[in-house]
Amino acid sequence: MFYQQELSMRLGLIGERLEISAQWGYQWESTLGTTFKDVHQSDVVLKLLVFDPFKNPNFDAVNLYSWKDQHRFKLKRLIPAVSVGAGYHFFSPDNAYNTWYPTNYPKVMVLTQNNLTNKLVLVTNHIWDHLQTDWPEYRFLASLNHSLGNQWSVFYESEWVKNDLYADHLLRFGGAFLQNNNLQWDAHFALNFKETPRRKSVGIGVSYRIDPNK
C-alpha cells in the first residue's frame, strides 16, 4: 500500500497565455515488507498557449435567429486549443524513487483542449519524460470532463505509460464540487490493468485560486 501527498502551484502571466507551475509530491510505500519514504515528484514546468480558437469572438457566436443551429454540434469544435510546455525534474542523489535516473532531467509536452459542447470538454496530454536518460518515457492522457451544473462536474481519464522499465494503462473516475469562484473540492478512484503490480487508489484534493484582478 502507499500514501501520497501532492502540492501544485500555478502562476498565469501575459494574459494567462503563459503559465509557470511547480509540483511537489511525497510518497510513503510499503512493499513486500520494505518501506520507502521520500519525495517522488519535484519539478518546474513552463507552458505556453500557442493557439486558442475561442480567442476569435466569431468562432462560437450566438445565433439569435435559429435555436436548432445554436444547439447542434458544430464540426469546428473539433479544432483544439493547443499549448506546448517544457519542464525539469529535481531530485537529491539518494532519492529512493529515482534510483534508475540521473538526479535531474527534462520533459516536454503538447496539450490540447476541445470544448465539444458547452458542458463537455476533452483534454489530451502528450508527455515525453525522462529525456536525456537511458529510459525515456512517453505518456498519453485523455480526459473527458462533463459539467452537471454551476457547481458539480464529473470526469473520466485514461492514461497510457510506456518506457523500457515500465508500461501500464490506468483509468481514473471522479468528480469535483465548486464551492465558490475560488475554492474547489475533488475526489477520484483509479485502477490499472497490470497484475505486476496491481494498483488501486482513491484520492481527495482541494484547489484554491488567488485572482489579483478581483
CA–CA separation, 25 and 40 (whole Å): 6
* pLDDT for the residue numbered 20: 94
DSSP string, 169-202: EEEEEEEEEE-SSSEEEEEEEEEES-STT--EEE
CA–CA separation, 159 and 19 (whole Å): 23
DSSP annotation of 212 reads: T
Average pLDDT over every residue of 90-106: 73
The answer to whether 169 and 159 are in contact (CB under 8 A) is yes
Domain boundaries of the chain, sorted by first residue: 65-208
Q: What pTM was computed for the model?
A: 0.84
Q: Tell me, which fold does domain 65-208 have in CATH?
A: Porin (2.40.160)
Average pLDDT over every residue of 7-34: 85
Long-range CB contacts (within 8 A, 24+) of 168-173: 168/192, 168/193, 168/194, 168/199, 169/193, 169/194, 170/199
Average pLDDT over every residue of 57-73: 63
The answer to whether 160 and 171 are in contact (CB under 8 A) is no
Grid coordinates of 7: 502540492
Higher pLDDT, 24 or 198: 24
Average pLDDT over every residue of 146-162: 94
157 conformational bin, left if phi > 0, alpha if psi -120 to 50, beta if neither: beta
CA torsion 46→49→50→51, rounded to 10°? 160
List, for residues 1-19, the tens digit of each pLDDT value: 778 888 999 998 887 789 9
End-to-end CA gap in the chain: 43
Angle at 207 between CA 6 and CA 167, to 5 degrees: 40
